[in-house]
Amino acid sequence: MALNQAKHIIEVIDGTRCTLVESGMTAERKEFLKTILEFNSYVVKEASDEAGTWKIGVTDVVFNPTINIYKRKLHSPNGLIITPSYWLQSTDKQTEAEVNYWIQ
């Protein structure tokens, strides 16, 4: 999901209504997001399609990844805040310093 679109999509994944976090992604990206979401106590549902891509959702239907990232509510397994660039995997480094999206 692009972080500049705060559209909230509800979809049925594995028989459960879920907030769609992202779709059309690789297995590596799916595992990356699944690790973050499960660490933050969300129940994750995943499904693949015929093209070999994945979609992932959480059972919390009021969850919105864009809002939670910019409100700094998500943390990585090492305890640091998830930044937009880390979520999008444009960087693999995280710092303990407060990183503001308007300063990057």
Report if residue 77 sits inside a domain: yes
pLDDT of residue 91: 75
The count of domains in the chain is: 1
Report if residue 73 sits inside a domain: yes
Report if residue 1 sits inside a domain: no
**Model confidence at 38: pLDDT above 60:** yes
Q: How far apart are CA 9 and CA 51, in angstroms?
A: 21
Question: What domain range is 24 assigned to?
Answer: 10-87
The residue ranking higher by pLDDT, 18 or 104, is 18
Report if residue 98 sits inside a domain: no
Report if residue 51 sits inside a domain: yes
Report if residue 94 sits inside a domain: no
pLDDT of residue 85: 85
**Model confidence at 19: pLDDT above 60:** yes
**Model confidence at 97: pLDDT above 60:** no
Report if residue 93 sits inside a domain: no
Question: Tens digit of pLDDT for each residue in 50-90?
Answer: 889 999 999 999 999 999 998 889 999 988 888 888 898 88
pTM of the model: 0.85
DSSP assignment of 50-95: TTS-EEEEES-TT--HHHHHHTT--B-TTSPBPPHHHHTTS-----
**Model confidence at 33: pLDDT above 90:** yes
pLDDT of residue 94: 67
CATH of residue 18: 3.30.70.1530
